[in-house]
Structure 1
């Protein structure tokens, strides 16, 4: 900075003031001022006051920005040097406001600010200093913690599942640290220890956002925000199946849930419980089934989770309630009089009946039981009430007797319920047939009257005749049968017979059109009524000249007017009584305009310059006719007279088209016209040949030349002088040109044109033979697949064969070659990738510019082969059962190596390098894995599988046990299959007969019972499997019917006794 003292009139020497600061060394002097030596000799207070004044004036022009935002880490410092700043260049002038959480070196008369944070837990601070003119500079300090928390994220949790303990750690501060939640909240059931351990068992689902704060030994804090998602739990319900149920037997089973937060509530959410059972909210399924049969229902358990809960799980149950003894119910039946073997619908419930029996017989009929059916036959001649009782039985027992109440209906004769309607003048026949009684029947009209003309045959019931009057007739008819005894029986039926008026129809439906001035006729007829008919016009009018014969219906005459005439014909029949009757039909009769024909159909030929005369005439209308051209134009030089004469001399050759209209002399709606169109051609003069210029392709042949022909149409053309470098060939009115092989350049020839009138003068054809355009196809090549044979042809066109093919740049994929003569690119490559190259083709042309060539650029993308692994799916395995499946690969080059690339096999199974998947799985479940096959060139293919290992299926035989006899030794062996031996046998429900025992190790059921009766029980066998779902078990239900022993008394007969002799005989019992 230069301070010019001359401006104040005190000195005439300029002074340079330089401020120097040693940056980065807090121990160095804050500032040093260097001035010329002569100034040091100046003394007195005035000089210092002057320098201070000048310094203020020099710096006042630039004000330091305020406030200033700075950022440091906890325990760090901030330093700013103002030596070369654009403001306060003469230093700071002191601290105005001191910081609260740090130290600030005295800034009075210095050129720097140095702030050091001393409160490590503070997050911000502020202080104010003054610049060289006393203005305040405010510093706002942001203090960031150096403490970093890890991990960045925490694992998610599941409701009711112990959390995978996670420890939050801190670095960057002074250990030890203490940890706490500073914002948000943890899921219920979880906690964070002071040592940073996050643990517990969450009881609420949802997404929880919280912040963990770590405080070090110097009270410095660091925080990290976390999001923890607590997923819904998987609630399982046991048992998987329900114990057996029997109709009529008390039942109780507890259903329990796990996996959620207790307690649980239970409810049926689908299907229906067996009748008689209820499900309590605590999971107890109890009651007494009242009906046998299949059941299917779903139980849902809901836990006590909070948050996004509660959660639920469901288990579907199905099974069959076993039948008890059958139950017979009361029924009623109605049977017909005199019927037999009427099946009775029984009311059977409870256990399935194997037979029914008649307990007490019917009084007025016979009830017969057969199997589970009963039929009833009433006593002949009986009608009224009857009853009997029946029972139902099965292997469990016999029902109480139930009553069947029977109603035997009286005999009921029936008649047809209705009769069809009739029509006047039409024959009528309808049989009033009776049924359900004893034939023959007699018939009579008991009330009302039949229509006139119709009568009833009392022996056959036939209503017949031809009605003569219309209307509605009500009458009643009675049918009486021939039953003996309490008969005969009869019935009376009321009838309504409607006699309709006849429908008179008139034909035809439409009339043929007529033509004005042309006689015509057609007959109108009527039907449906009584002949004869009379015909009249009831509406509209006939065309003038046409009339209707009222007796015959003949419509005839010669119409004198054109148009459409609408009228209605009325036909009246000859009916008497309520007649006669009529019918009508509306007609629309069109009278057409006459068709006038013009002749001749075509005109004779015309030739330009030759006189022409032709008469045109008309027929079909009224003479005389007048003629006029109404469309097109006559050939130039011709005219048409009003009398139809077409004459003159055509002056111009070419096509013509015109129409002549003939108008007749009709009056009335006339006159009428007819039109004839004529087309043709006026023959031409001698043709004129003109010069032609054309271009043909190199090596082409038979190039058609577009000739320049005028004048009369040419009948033929000819080559007058041939070309020098090719061949010109004339055919009809065409000429083709073929250049000499290998020639390119200019050529020419002359030609003439001829028709019947003469030959033209020769004209010149100038031909340019172009250079050949050699091209190479296709433009792109199909991409090969590694390890697969490849063959494609590149083909040249244009120029002259043969061709030579070569690769001019790039390189082919290894294994592929290009045949230089044929252009076939073929071979088998084992390398995938992108290969750009160019192929050039050269022809065999000679002469100027030859040979000719073309080059195409190609890129072959060699794709890896698609290696597939089969089968697409694996058959399920069973725990503890040997498993073997061969995997195969195709699409690559053998041999293949097989590995499991992701997922894992079930324990006990292995995959060999040759693809054999084998072993004996030791745990049930679903296992997802991916198998990779690698071929001889390291190309791979994969197949994803889900292998299901089913639980071992344990079964118990036999399905039923032989029945024991009381007081006789008994032994039967139960055998288990499937699963893993040894097995344990136990009685899971019911009771064995007293004296019989089940060996838990061998399954032998043996002993001697002294109690007869029926003993239902269930035996459960459990195997020794381990792993998922183990052990496995099966349960069979049995019923032992213990029979009473058969006692025998001996001897079977006694010895003879003689009177007077002493007798003694001992009896013994056995069995």
Structure 2
């Protein structure tokens, strides 16, 4: 009756369960012949297959052979059993008892009772093993072929005495509970008992007898899901990373969140764990439904919305450089993020013209999500530094002082520089310099070494430095004598020059001391070049003997320089002595005249003798009644006075003639032609210059004339050759 009562209760329970979820079952094995109708399947894959499979339990009061134990509940034999006879005398037992096909879900609970006979003292325990396996292949009963195969039942849910150890398998009815887990989702499949013993059989070392009773399969009942409350979630910003976590309670195991209606803002996604994350790429309010389910097929849903807004102003402008009004066109690049546009006075195409002066620049940026931002900042433009007054070159004397001035607008600092031949370098306030950092540079005690140095000013300030033109400094020295004039010894009437060499001179003045002190000499008379470095004296007289000369040189700088003194020594020679009138023989030369003196020279006139010019050779033929002038030279000095000697031959008168003939010439002086008087036959006329050289030889024409146009101006002697002799006549050519 107890078993019937339990069966009635079971029927009611199953009916109720089927109403809720037609998955549960409870099996007490009152009659195992009805199992197949309930979807149970038995399969003996032992090797070898024995004489028995699964069988109805045997009570301890059964006759003629009582069983080892009674059922857990119900009738004494109301359990299912299996023993060593599943295989032969020896072998491997793999005997399967498969439950009905069900939709398996995580959380489903599978319970059963099992035991083996009680092993008394002195008895041997032959170890048994029972596996509970699961197949997720729908209604499949594939357990493979052979004792070691498992087919589709690859998942071991439970193994009792897995290593076949004696006295481990329960010897009293013991309840085992299995909760299904690890399924990705509710899955159609079966649970199976596998009596799996190696070394089994009637003669084996393992396998005895086991029973199974009161098997219950209880499907998991979904719990009520409690999710993050519906409504608006935290606002997002386009382009900014966003995270929101949805929560739930009620899911069995790990929940799985998904959007089942509507949509998240573009760029966001929902993870299975309920995390909304990503970076929105659009603005607006987005409504969506989230469903959470678990691996048991339970679920819950809630509606949400997220509003994606534009970010707070992302546009920035870094500081602009300080520009100047003369700076080049400036390309603007300070805006961030890149890709925006610039606007403002002086801005064109992303470039700013500094000529516009200080201005406010606006940077406008539109992000990929359509949001527009702007920011403004002032760009400062300073007035350019300009040189307003250029320095000018100066000339000073060595040791002198001077100032160089330059001016610049918009300058806050100055630096003077000097280039002495190796490039410009900065000047400091030291030595000869002061004011090196002002607009006026002062040079005190300038040395000659600065001559030719170049100076310039560098004006600095908020803008690019401005550099002035360079100014050349000329440093001059006082005149200096580098070569002194030397003493001179000259002959009276000669010319001489006193010279000196002077540097840094701009003016000269020769002076003479005639015994009463130095006085300036003026150009004129015997002097020339009195204001140059060389004094020329022409026609020195004996009265100048002992004169002292010097040069005074002046220049830009003082003092003037005076040369050493130079003495002029004049050597004079007196005229030779002798008779003032001397006779000669026809055909004699000047050397026939008698004069007392040294190195006698003859001249045709007193002027030529005084000037020592037009000297007559000593071989010059004497012309009767002609005065000749003689000088002498002593110690290199030729006398300026001369001895006048009249050469006279009484027998010739004023002419020489051959025989009784007397030939005269006319005109005399003559310019072009000369005519001859008389009737004597003239064969030729030989013309001698005053120095005795033959100048020409002529013959008379029909008019008894000769042409003298080819003769130069001067005095000539004509030798006239006739058939009666030679006659000499003096001719003056005009």
Fold shared by both chains (TM-score > 0.5): no
Structure that is richer in helix per residue? 2
> What TM-score does the superposition give when structure 1 sets the normalisation length?
0.20
- Kindly indicate whether structure 1 or structure 2 has the higher relative contact order, using CA contacts under 8 Å at least 6 residues apart: 2
Indicate the structure (1 or 2) with the bigger Cα radius of gyration.
2
> What TM-score does the superposition give when structure 2 sets the normalisation length?
0.28
Structure that is richer in strand per residue? 1
